[in-house]
Amino acid sequence: MSASISNNCLEESARSPLFCPVQVVAATSEEAKESASVGVLQEQLRALQADVDAASRRLAVTRSRVESNMKRVDDLRAEAVRHICSQYQYGSIACLAATSAHTEG
């Protein structure tokens, strides 16, 4: 729409220089606002993408820590089972099965 206003105005201003200066200013002002809006949106998009990238890196670190902590919990459980079995001298099948389940898993 603004392009047709600008083209018509430019054609007419060739014949009469004062034909439509307000329309030209309005059209270029509208185009400037649109391109400024696009620029602002692109800037916001880049900022949001950077935020997503940073969050993704933090998530990867957190997942790694959770996996490490889960392994540590499993190791501590296995150690507790071994300690209980050895302290109370349980040689039962249940104690041996619990010990092997924790060391194999």
The rounded percent of the chain whose pLDDT value lies above 90 is 34
- pLDDT over 70 at 100, yes or no: no
Residue ranges making up the domain that contains 45: 2-104
pLDDT category at 43 given cuts 50, 70, 90 is: very high
Pairwise CA distance, residues 102 & 80, whole Å:
10
Higher pLDDT, 3 or 66: 66
Q: How far is CA 104 from the centre of its chain?
A: 37
Please tell me the total count of domains within the chain. Answer: 1
Nearest to 26 by CA among 51, 59, 4, 58: 4
For residue 80, give both structure tokens.
């507790």
Higher pLDDT, 102 or 95: 95
Higher pLDDT, 56 or 90: 56
For residue 50, give both structure tokens.
């950077």
- pLDDT over 50 at 71, yes or no: yes
CA torsion 84-94-78-82 (nearest 10°) is 40
